[in-house]
Structure 1
């Protein structure tokens, strides 16, 4: 008789323990044990939250090299069936060999669950028939659990879910996250002390009234925004380091539909557009994606969303300032080009219409599409096509945490027919669908890869561009880590080519994430380790750093409504000299639109107490030492970057914190 020591670790999360009977079967190359109930002689309740309990499993003879374990549970007499979240099982063989079985999954039923030993294996390495069988069974079960759905024609597909309760347990929020994130606008309105204003359709009568509600909850940067939102240099700064640094590009020639002249932007012949364009000092933000978008009716009134063109100039003191704004795409007599020398309210109104357009462009393209929806497509394909034993599953599963759950909540409470975004933004409803379709049809792989995107937009040398500086360093650190891990498992390009599960993963991403649009440049297959490393870097960067860059500052920059109106109630001026403070207040969104927008941005900018920073891996999926060492090196490099960012920020009037690795979450979870 030989004895195996079995150690079972239950998670620390709330309600993760079980009172049920737990059984295990060990399966090796030379046979399998009997199904054994795990009874601890030292613990009365061995599977309580956080418990680490050891057991002995006896077998007549050695089982050889262990391949997998079979775990199940049954309710005790008079006790209900419950859910259990084991982290891992560690087995020491009679020969002294150690085997690590990662689980990290809710077990909520009484069926048998198979788990592979933690050594990563690609499908072509998994030669034992039992290993191949368990691999096939796992993927068959996952494809039944994780099915694609088409929520919006022309947008990325998502997980098919009938209700929040039908989400698979392994992708749901923890109890802690769920308790904190009782995500309703009412809760946020109450916290912000704005509930009494939520139903008021009155217009604002003066700026001071907005300031009073703004002070119910604020941040240091939000205060700065309130004080400087009218300043031209701060208006320009936001295109680089605000929540939407994705639109600005260097301008080498003006578009034909933007007839700006020297006289408009350079006083008394002090400069030349041609010269400044040639020097690389002119920049363009073109909101053409918003042209002709259907706008919402809010409070019984038609809302307005423009598709402006904004020309910015880099000044000798390295500030970026707007020099011309055209609010509609087609030049016309009733579509004047506004310039800084216009009257105070003409120029301010032009900038307000730009900031409102930027709100819609940011929320629906930079934020929703390019982080949330793509991250879900990456995650669903991962869960459908890669078993737990696959090295890429082990690498990427931490970067999918809560993504599917948060996106389902967004579909229920943000962008549904009665969602906050739909009801209180100009681009909600049909407009949202139009913008998403246009954004996906023009999206490119290069624009998702930060080094390529910065180069393509001509922004390599723009000063004071902290999103670029921090983002490129983050990209490089992530890429080195990813390249090291993948090179350990894929020794040759041929290994990538013959990994059928890997090829199925990228094929479903191409089909369901990018709707089979070859024009995006998204790979349809992988032929080399280098190609795979770049794509995986993009996946991790998109779900962590990029999401932080476009999400974390939403209340900072949008909490003061005039800087980021969710909607506007009147059309823009058609002639100069017609704008004043009264017309501005009548154009800005009504009280209920303002406070519901504030509440939503407040919710979306909050960090959960179970936040997991980038490169922190509380779940031990890798058994091999080299990937684990690479993780430690990864963490060390990010700590150095975090220290450098904090040091720089101490010298800045407006600190840029959103890509500080200590504040970047591992996944899209908010």
Structure 2
């Protein structure tokens, strides 16, 4: 029986069904036959429907000596593609055979190549029945393509290219952007589209309104419910342009109460008809019509952070807490050496030693311990954006409407387990004959000092927001995962057990990434308009990839140890002891990490009972080699890449990939609106310089006269705030069709008793984690996750309903 679904997006499925027509199927045996036998043919005819599913049946006369059926060939004889969900072969003496497809089938007139689908039984390459080996190889060849030509929407080809499609030099020379990928700007690779090069820059690829992804990566068309990619597209291409045309200029908010208008009155759109009639139904929580005025108004829901405590953003305690339990909890690190020093060339960037001196610190911590004792007792922690940002500072300062510093923020660990901010250092490198400028700011008890501290904090938060969006979020999850997806489809057969383990964790990511390249991270896109680095934003993520990214340190335990936030301790659970015991991201993340690792261990040891099977698996070895040498080819010679020789090696590699796509992405993504929707808490940009940089200038006098006005001018403008708040809202939204980690067993696993049992154990662990996190959030002793007006830390709570919930760990990077 052949089950299909009509193309979604059409309300009347009766119009679609006639276009699906008869499917042509061929069957062949798969094992215990030294040679392939002739196939058995049949035509599938429509027999019925149920809701959005259409059923087809075909009859076959299978000889007694045919052997076990191992695969299906399908040919679509009509002129439109069809989506095949699954095939069930019934009436066999051995019982029914399920073949899971979940794939689009092109019309044979577009591509005469018949589609191959294998049964749900998994095989390593060396264990593949002889009759199936050629089909296994042929299907992989189809997916790899030949590396030439422009890709069509119906193609299923996975190939690599550099990021050379973010700029648009033919439109405007100012929109030209460097190629990311290669010795000058190292970067992961993206999916090749094959579009023609631009006229003005032969190294750049021309842009188009429809960015190619392999056909089965664009799954949204078959979903009955709203799919997140469609929502993202609508926000980026319809809503944001309307906001930009409705808010004139780039004016700051005139006063703090004006910011509240975004949530209680909204922004009137100049021509809401241009948004499209379907947008309100796509994102009903985001776009609301105020009926009593007769106008179309964009009004945001109040973020939970603001709803619980409107003034929490003012408090230094909350500033410190969010480094451990906010949307970017993965950059805080332990201070292990004193004095603080830069690793940059002092001939270029000025003196390397920080202006945060021993004397300043000892005075601030009350003189009850020396700096050396504080370092030894692991009391000092730092957000250090100095060396990453300094190479960009002077370039960014040439841009209109923004500025930049290198920054260091020093924290002290209090007996309560909370972090107290001590100092903020802002640094500007030498420029135009002027020497390096640096200044240290601290919380004060005089009016001027208090406002300078608030301004300095705004700059640091803009740095943290930029690092979060460009590095923690985009680079480490979306960007670095795309090569894993490409390599998995090019090198691992669909019947390979590791392909089937990874597949749920690769869902929708390439489509989301394509949308990001189209309208989010592109030249003059939302990121460049709203974040401090401006046109150098994505170039900054290349610097971070070059300086900081290591595959082995994407493992949560290794990352914590590398940042000094944990140490190896054989006496502690899992052999790891946290430096700050109440570190919500680490505590909850390690629960998810352990559950993933146990599930992967059960799975891998079942299919690789002997260590030699890993080295003998040619598909697996090609997969890992391609990830290292092509997908992340700019780092192919690094010594830290794990080897792939044993099952333990494979378990470590797979656990990292699955953790990044699920737990880590959830931790840095789904809190964006709750923590950043009210932008004073996490401004994305700092638009003005510190008034003390030119102590005799007009800016200093303006600051002294109107400090609140000066701070609002530093914050994002009305246009930047409204535009990016809309994006944050939608990036924080769970789709109704979300698939959460450990929730849904795949059909391939359900048919094997051992794997089914292992998954059920995984599912049980994940459900247990839900309860553990609830108990932690109710523990008043854990002050980094509970307290008056605090948003509880639920970003790693596994399950969620649809919408903006601040919780839920999807299987994959699906938004």
Give the TM-score of the pair, scaled to structure 2: 0.75
Q: Which residue of 2 aligns with 1:514?
A: 632
Partners of 2:670 and 2:795 within 8 A in 1:
yes
Task: Name the structure, 1 or 2, with higher relative contact order (CA <8 Å, separation 6+).
Answer: 1
Aligned 1:302-451 pairs, distance under 5 A: 302-328=401-427, 334-341=437-444, 343-451=449-557
Give the Cα–Cα distance (whole angstroms) in 1 for the partners of residues 555 and 428 of structure 2: 29
Q: Aligned partners of 1:330, 1:283: CA distance in 2, in Å?
A: 24
CA-CA distance at 1:563 after TM superposition: 2.1
Aligned to 2:118: 116
2: distance between equivalents of 1:472 and 1:414? 31
**What are the equivalent positions in structure 2 for 1:470-619 lying under 5 Å apart?**
470-517=588-635, 520-521=638-639, 523=641, 525-574=643-692, 578=700, 579=703, 580-617=707-744, 619=746
Which residue is equivalent to 2:293? none
Quickly say closer, same or farther: Cα 1:199–1:636, change in 2 above 3 A: farther
Q: Which SS does the other structure have where 2:406 is aligned?
A: coil
* Residues 197 and 323 of structure 1: CA distance in aligned 2, closer, same or farther (over 3 Å): farther
* 2:211 and 2:515 in contact (8 A); partners too: no
Match of 2:755 among 605, 624, 627: 627
Tell me whether 160-169 or 401-410 shows the greater mean CA deviation. Answer: 160-169
Give the alignment partner of residue 255 of structure 2, picking from 206, 209, 219: 206
Counterparts in 2 of 1:231 and 1:519: CA distance versus 1, 3 Å = farther
Q: Do residues 74 (structure 1) and 77 (structure 2) align?
A: yes
- Measured against aligned partners, the alpha-carbon deviations of 1:99-122 in whole angstroms (never above 9, x if no partner) come to 332211111222421212221111
Report the Cα offset of residue 63 of structure 1.
1.1
For residues 310 and 582 of structure 2, the distance between their equivalents in structure 1, rounded to whole angstroms, comes to 21
Alignment of 1:84 onto 2:82:
yes
Once the 2 structures are TM-superposed, how far is the Cα of residue 399 of structure 1 from its aligned partner?
Answer: 0.7
Moved more, 554-563 or 11-20: 11-20
Tell me if the contact between 1:225 and 1:560 (Cα under 8 Å) persists in the aligned partners. Answer: no
Relative to structure 1, the CA distance from residue 197 to residue 19 in structure 2 (aligned partners, 3 Å threshold; closer, same or farther) is closer
Change in Cα spacing, 1:371 to 1:356, as seen in structure 2 (3 Å) is: same
> How far has the Cα of 1:352 moved from its partner?
0.7
The 1-side partners of 2:50 and 2:239 are apart by 37
- Compute the displacement of 1:386 (Å): 0.8
Tell me which residue corresponds to 1:3.
Answer: none
Instruction: Find the aligned partners of 2:634 and 2:693 in 1 and give their Cα distance.
Output: 45
Counterpart among 213, 226, 235 of residue 184 in structure 1: 235
**SS of residue in 2 equivalent to 1:31:** coil
* Other-structure match for 2:127: 125
**Which residue number corresponds to residue 810 of structure 2?**
665
Partners of 1:356 and 1:565 within 8 A in 2:
yes
Q: Indicate yes or no: 2:83 matched with 1:34.
A: no
The root-mean-square deviation of aligned C-alpha atoms, in Å, is: 2.8
Does the C-alpha gap of structure 1 residues 471 and 325 become closer, same or farther in structure 2, counting only changes over 3 Å? same
Q: Which moved more, 1:517-526 or 1:247-256?
A: 517-526
User: Does the 8 A contact of 1:148 with 1:160 survive in 2?
Assistant: yes
Q: Partners of 2:188 and 2:43 in 1: how far apart?
A: 45
- Aligned residue in 1 for 2:792: 655
* Offset at residue 252 of structure 1 (A): 2.5
SS at match of 1:308: strand
Alignment partners' CA distance in 1, 2:520 and 2:21: 39
Q: For 2:53 and 2:720, how far apart are their aligned partners in 1?
A: 45
Deviations 1:332-356 (A, max 9, x none): 8842211112621011111111000
The answer on whether the counterparts of 2:461 and 2:682 sit within 8 Å (CA) in structure 1 is: yes
**Residue 10 of structure 1: aligned partner:** 4
Change (3 A) 1:346 1:533: same
CA contact (8 A) 2:484 2:627 kept: yes
The 1:643/1:10 distance shift into structure 2, 3 A limit, reads farther
Cross-structure match for 2:379 = 281
Partner of 2:311, secondary structure, is: helix
- Residue 346 and residue 520 in structure 1: after superposition, are their counterparts in 2 closer, same or farther (change >3 A)? farther
Q: Could you tell me which of 215, 218, 222 is aligned with 2:302?
A: 218
How far, CA to CA, are the matches of 1:225 and 1:83 in structure 2? 52
**Aligned position for 1:78:** none
| Paired position in structure 1 for 2:218 | 172
Deviation, structure 1 residue 434: 3.4
Q: 1:39 to 1:666 in 2, by over 3 A?
A: same
Q: Deviations over 1:470-496 (max 9, x none)?
A: 100100000000011111111111100
* Change in CA separation of 1:270 and 1:165 when aligned onto 2, cut-off 3 Å: closer
SS of 1:237 mapped into structure 2 = helix
In the TM superposition, residue 432 of structure 1 has moved relative to its aligned partner by 2.2
Structure 1 SS opposite 2:675: helix
Are 1:261 and 2:358 counterparts? yes
Distance (Å, rounded) in 2 between the aligned partners of 1:612 and 1:267: 48
Residues 364, 436 of structure 1: 8 Å contact kept: no
Aligned with 1:309: secondary structure? strand
- The answer to whether 1:239 aligns with 2:323 is yes
Q: Secondary structure at the match of 1:562?
A: coil
Describe the shift of the 1:318–1:47 C-alpha distance in structure 2 as closer, same or farther (beyond 3 A): closer
Q: Is the 8 A contact 1:205 1:585 kept in 2?
A: yes
Distance 1:39 1:582, change over 3 A: closer
Q: 1:272 matched to which residue of 2? A: 370
SS at match of 2:60: strand
User: Structure 1 regions of 5+ residues with no counterpart?
Assistant: 1-6, 76-80
CA displacement at 1:285 relative to structure 2: 1.3
Once the 2 structures are TM-superposed, how far is the Cα of residue 463 of structure 1 from its aligned partner? Answer: 3.1
C-alpha displacement of 1:195: 6.4
Deviates more, 1:510-519 or 1:366-375: 510-519
Deviates most, 386-395 or 201-210: 201-210
User: What SS does the aligned partner of 2:104 have?
Assistant: coil
What is the distance in 2 between the residues matched to 1:66 and 1:131?
10
Alpha-carbon distance between aligned partners in 1 of 2:7 and 2:809, rounded to the nearest angstrom? 22
Alignment coverage as a number of residue pairs: 653
Q: 1:92 to 1:525 in 2, by over 3 A?
A: farther
- Rate the CA distance shift 1:36–1:241 in 2: closer, same or farther, 3 A: same
